[in-house]
């Protein structure tokens, strides 16, 4: 019975050790020498010694975050150096030599290196001297900047609007269509019957690295007459009203600012600000109309007013 009990205990210990080891990353022989057996890598040999990217240094064994890159500094000592740790990430204890202070991962006990104070390398007066083999690095994720944005303008016949916008700097594409009404997927004939409530408009997709909404909104006011109510030149009707269909609050505020500038210049602006709704592309024969006709607009003319 005693032999059986000892056998069961040994099996239990083995299973426990296997379970514990499975929680951690697999290490190479050299990493085991450093991390588990408290060794030291050769100076100036580690991949993170002169490493200077932004991000977080984590434990090679368990992936626990240990150090932030902005706490790393060059001590010219041959190993990565940090003057601070992430709160609660590091354990410190007297080294086996009785002189130095060993630093370990607080999560898994992995050996990292040693910490020294009083050397005056930085204002924090602390140097965590860490083996590169004890670390992995997670680069800082930089949010991707939105490369394109959209604006929707209405200022009379959409043919003339497109003529000027499709050649503006930073504009990636233009689409003429209908917006603001109640009918799903309206046709040109339905819009012209004045029963759908739609307005002729243009959707402009632009590169935010080359232009911005304010620049395009200024162009909008300079290629049509924002003082004409429900018409533009010879085109008369509610479908030709002047309006900015803003997609966000910033677009609304920018348009309000430009309208105020125009009113201060003496313009009686009738342009409406309307929250954007579904934009329905017009029929294909309306797209790029003046390019196809090789002609110029008859009701839109550029006039610099800003």
Q: Which residues are catalytic?
A: 129, 157
Are 69 and 53 contacting, i.e. CB atoms less than 8 angstroms apart?
yes
Query: Could you give the 3-state DSSP secondary structure of residue 289?
Result: helix
Are 262 and 186 contacting, i.e. CB atoms less than 8 angstroms apart?
no
Residues 103, 107, 109, 111, Cα dihedral to 10°: -50
Strand partners, 178: 200, 280
Token reading at 86: 């992430």
Q: What does the alpha-carbon distance between residue 245 and residue 153 come to, in Å, rounded to a whole number?
A: 6
Q: What does the alpha-carbon distance between residue 190 and residue 175 come to, in Å, rounded to a whole number?
A: 19
Strand partners, 129: 81, 114
Residue 32 burial (C-beta neighbours within 10 Å; 0-12, 13-18, 19+): middle
């Amino acid at each position: 019975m005693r032999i059986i009990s000892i056998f069961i205990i040994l099996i239990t210990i083995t299973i426990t050790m296997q379970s514990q080891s499975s929680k951690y990353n697999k290490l190479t022989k050299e990493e085991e020498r450093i991390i588990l057996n408290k060794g030291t890598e050769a100076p100036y040999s580690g991949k993170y010694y002169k490493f200077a990217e932004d991000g977080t240094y984590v434990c090679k064994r368990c992936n626990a975050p240990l150090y932030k890159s902005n706490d790393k500094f060059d001590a010219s000592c041959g190993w990565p150096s940090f003057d601070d740790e992430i709160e609660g990430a590091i354990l410190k204890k007297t080294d086996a030599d009785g002189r130095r202070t060993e630093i370990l991962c607080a999560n898994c006990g992995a050996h990292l290196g040693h910490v020294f104070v009083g050397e005056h390398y930085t204002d924090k007066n602390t140097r965590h001297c860490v083996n590169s083999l004890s670390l992995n690095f997670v680069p800082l994720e930089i949010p991707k900047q939105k490369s394109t944005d959209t604006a929707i303008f209405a200022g009379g016949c959409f043919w003339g609007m497109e003529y000027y916008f499709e050649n503006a700097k930073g504009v990636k594409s233009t689409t003429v269509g209908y917006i603001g009404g109640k009918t799903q997927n309206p046709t040109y004939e339905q819009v012209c019957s004045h029963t759908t409530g739609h307005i002729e408009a243009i959707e402009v997709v632009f590169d935010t690295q080359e232009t911005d909404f304010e620049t395009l909104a200024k162009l909008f006011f300079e290629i049509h007459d924002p003082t004409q109510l429900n018409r533009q030149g010879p085109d008369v009707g509610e479908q030709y009203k002047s309006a900015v269909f803003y997609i966000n609050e910033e677009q609304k505020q920018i348009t309000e600012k430009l309208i105020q500038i125009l009113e201060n210049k003496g313009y009686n602006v009738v342009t409406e600000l309307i929250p954007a709704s579904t934009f329905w592309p017009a029929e294909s024969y309306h797209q790029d109309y003046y390019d196809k006709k090789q002609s110029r607009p008859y009701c839109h003319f550029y006039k610099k007013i800003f």
